[in-house]
Amino acid sequence: MSEAQPLFDVLRHSARTEVADAFERLVRDAPDHRLCRINALAFAAREGLDEEETIAGFLHASRLGIFELSWNVLCPGCGGVLDANTSLKTVQSTEYTCALCAAGYEPTLDEMVEVTFTVSPRVRRIGAHTPHELPPAEYFRQIYWGSGIDLPEEDYEAKVDEFLLEALELPPGEKAVISLQLPAEFVIIFEPVTHAAQFLDVSGEPTRERRNLGLVFDRSHRHHETLSLPPGPLRVSVENHAEVRTLPSICVAGEALHALLGRRRPFLTAKRLLSNQTFRDIYRTDTLDVDQRLKITSLTFLFTDLRGSTELYERVGDLAAFDLVRTHFNVLNEIVAAGAGAVVKTIGDAVMATFPTPDRAVTAAMRMREAMRELNEERGSEDLLLKIGIHEGPCIAVNLNDRQDYFGQTVNIASRVQHLATSREIFATGSVLEDPRASGVLSDRGLSPMAHNVTLRGIANEISIFAIP
């Protein structure tokens, strides 16, 4: 820690002091497992810190080398990590398969890709830096399960023992035999390193006859087919053809396992991080590959534009107009960042921003309108008349023109909704106001949006547009 002290001192120049202090205490005092794949949202809640300030702090700390950032593809079923990546560039857009759940999933950045932070070995060495030396239970806790599983702190191993019948550490190239009595339960032989599983449906009359089963772990055989066996003695011969140690584990897929996996908590998603202004400022173009296309099932887009900006330049002159427009950009950037959003790009006098949820976009839009009103009152003019459009829906994250951008019909609709607005108007689509949190923001302020249906160029069906007073 003494060698890392200068890093924390530098961190305090870019992160909130209380956040940096909490990081320093964590790195100094926490047990190893709490420094591996840290859930930023859970950490903020535990320390009583603001989520956005905590996320920004982790990003700045990762840039300094205090933490290492990881993009982990998760199984929606069991919460296991199907693929761990140091960069989003290596996340595949094709299907991932979970052997434990016997299911395949097309990855989306909403809930299937988490972002976690692990302490750097230059700051503090922990067991997870050499994962193939971790005991089986700790491998599951620190390496296999994602940060969305709320694993117990105090009695974790006791909880695991409730469903774990046998576990074995098998070095590469080695063979072993596991002998056990099969209970009348659904049993899974699972190997978390190579992600292989064999299902055993154990039922019927018990037998004293010993059954034999052979399994090879080599990263290619998934053993999805289910075998039916009677309760009784079983001899499992296992061979490790992988290049690393494997951990054949025999589990009862019963109430104890399901109770553990059912303990879920929010985690930092890739979607949320891509819509984070601090992340975009630090990582800029180093996010996606040029040919990469990753799906997002729901993202909220906000477009703004200044009405009559051409006339503004004519009326007050280029220099004064430029300064005024730049001030307007600075205000909008601050509002977007404060609302957990990010400015994707500016186009002339227009802004394209994203937010993880519709309510944040609606709140930001009303703050923008009020901020422009205050600027106009200060100047004694009506020079800054903002038009705002909001839409929510699926899209694709892409790398376009050397920047992380978005593509799809949702983006097109959001842009065209903004073009329908006149000065000082906020137009939002039905998909935005159908979100309970967004409608709650308006009802809390006593606002009743006026609805009308419109036809947009390139869109086959009419859509509902709501003017927010």
| Structure confidence by residue, pLDDT tens digits, 33-78 | 999 999 999 999 999 999 999 999 999 999 999 999 999 999 999 9
The alpha helices in 339-468, defined as continuous H runs, are: 358-379, 409-420, 430-433, 436-444
Residue 313 has pLDDT above 90, yes or no: no
pLDDT given for residue 219 in this prediction? 79
- Specify burial of residue 295 (Cβ count, 10 A radius: 0-12, 13-18, 19+): middle
What CATH superfamily is the domain 288-468?
Answer: Nucleotide cyclase, GGDEF domain (3.30.70.1230)
* Concatenated DSSP letters of 365-391: HHHHHHHHHHHHHHHTS----EEEEEE
Helix (H) / strand (E) containing 225: none
* Concatenated DSSP letters of 229-286: E-SEEEEEEEEE-SSS-B--EEEE-SHHHHHHHT-B----BHHHHHT-HHHHHHHTT-
pLDDT given for residue 289 in this prediction? 84
- Specify burial of residue 42 (Cβ count, 10 A radius: 0-12, 13-18, 19+): middle
CB neighbourhood size of 233 (10 A): 15
Q: Which residues contact residue 320 at a Cβ distance below 8 angstroms, ignoring those fewer than 6 apart?
A: none
Question: Between residues 441 and 320, which one has the greater pLDDT?
Answer: 441
User: What 3-state DSSP class applies to 161?
Assistant: helix
Percent of the chain having pLDDT more than 70? 96
Q: Check residue 151 and give left, alpha or beta (phi > 0: left; psi -120 to 50: alpha).
A: beta
Percent of the chain having pLDDT more than 90? 78
Q: d(Cα 269, Cα 305) in Å, to the nearest integer?
A: 30
pLDDT given for residue 287 in this prediction? 82
CB neighbourhood size of 246 (10 A): 26
17-29 and 51-64 helices, crossing angle to 10° = 60
Q: d(Cα 420, Cα 430) in Å, to the nearest integer?
A: 15
- Weakest-pLDDT range from 66-70, 163-167, 430-434, 455-459: 455-459
pLDDT tens digits, 351-394: 999 999 999 999 999 999 999 999 888 878 877 889 999 999 99
Q: d(Cα 120, Cα 107) in Å, to the nearest integer?
A: 27
pLDDT tens digits, 188-234: 999 999 999 999 999 999 999 999 999 999 977 666 689 999 999 99
Mean pLDDT within 177-198? 95
Give residue 304's pLDDT band: very low, low, confident or very high (50, 70, 90): very high
Domain ranges in the chain are 4-125, 164-253, 288-468
Strand 232-240 vs strand 211-217: parallel, antiparallel, or unpaired?
parallel
Residue 312 has pLDDT above 80, yes or no: no
Terminal Cα-to-Cα distance of the chain (whole angstroms): 55
pLDDT given for residue 1 in this prediction? 60
Q: Which two tokens stand for residue 331?
A: 């205000």
pLDDT given for residue 307 in this prediction? 79
Mean pLDDT within 254-281? 95
pLDDT given for residue 102 in this prediction? 87
The alpha helices in 163-226, defined as continuous H runs, are: none
To the nearest 10°, the Cα dihedral for 340, 344, 345, 346? -30
Place of tokens 């967004």: 438
pLDDT given for residue 466 in this prediction? 95
Average pLDDT for the chain: 92
Q: d(Cα 2, Cα 328) in Å, to the nearest integer?
A: 45
Q: d(Cα 249, Cα 313) in Å, to the nearest integer?
A: 71
- Weakest-pLDDT range from 186-195, 212-221, 235-244, 302-311: 302-311
pLDDT given for residue 403 in this prediction? 84
pLDDT given for residue 310 in this prediction? 64
pLDDT given for residue 221 in this prediction? 66
pLDDT tens digits, 79-125: 999 999 999 999 988 889 999 998 899 999 999 999 999 999 999 99
pLDDT given for residue 55 in this prediction? 98
